[in-house]
Amino acid sequence: SEMCLRARGKPQGFICIAPAMLPKIFDFPLRLTIGTDIDTAEIVEDMGGEHVPCPVDDIVVDEDNKIITTPAYMLAQNIAEAAAGIEKLVDRVLVLTE
50-80 per-position pLDDT tens digit: 999 999 999 999 999 999 999 999 999 999 9
Q: Which residues contact 3 (CB under 8 A, 6 or more apart)?
A: 26
Rounded to whole angstroms, the Cα distance separating 37 from 75 reads 9
Q: Give the contacts of 53 (CB within 8 A, at least 6 positions apart).
A: 33, 35, 36, 41
Q: Which CATH code for domain 18-97?
A: 3.40.50.880
> Do residues 63 and 92 lie in contact, with contact meaning Cβ atoms separated by under 8 Å?
no
pLDDT tens for each residue of 4-17: 555 568 999 999 99
What pLDDT is recorded for position 42?
97
Question: What does the pLDDT read at residue 9?
Answer: 80
81 pLDDT more than 90: yes
Q: What is the dihedral of CA 12, 66, 93, 34, to 10 degrees?
A: 70
DSSP 30: -
pLDDT value, residue 5: 56
Which residues are catalytically annotated? 16
Domain regions of the chain by residue span: 18-97
